[in-house]
Amino acid sequence: MLACLILRRTGNLWLPIGFHAAWDWGQTYFYGVPDSGTVVPGHLLDSKFTGPAWLTGGTVGPEGSALCLVLIIALWFLIAAIFRDVKYPNPAAIPDPRAIRLDPLGAVGHD
């Protein structure tokens, strides 16, 4: 839902793609924690979790924790406050179906 909000407010798909790539890179390589339950060898840091699974995410990793849910909700409100205008879909880029006319020879044209 956060990626959908970012796309609608910025009109650019690269920001949610970059955010997701940075999130996965941070978990997988930099911190070395499970990313959706998968631990990849060759990470920079070797982090270990201690505590209840609702705080640490357990075997799923930090994205399964309640703290991550709070972080994503906070980011949702922050993005909604920073980017107030809806830029996608661009109404000017959507053709009006009433303006499309058919030529007698079958060619499609615009008025």
Sorting pLDDT into bands at 50, 70 and 90, what band is 8?
very high
- Whole-prediction pTM value? 0.70
**What is the pLDDT at residue 107?**
56
Cβ atoms of 27 and 62 closer than 8 Å? yes
Asked whether the predicted pLDDT for residue 100 surpasses 70, the reply is no
Handedness of CA 24, 26, 32, 34 (dihedral sign): negative
Cβ burial of 60 (10 Å; 0-12, 13-18, 19+) is middle
Q: What are the structure tokens assigned to 77, written together?
A: 């409100």
Residue that the structure tokens 């201690």 belong to: 50
Distance, CA of 105 to chain centre:
46
Q: State mean pLDDT over 68-90.
A: 91
- Helix, strand, coil tally for the chain in percent (to 5): 50, 5, 40
16: domain range? 2-110
Confidence of residue 18 (pLDDT cuts 50, 70, 90): very high
**Strand bridging mode 100-102 / 108-110:** antiparallel
Number of domains in the chain: 1
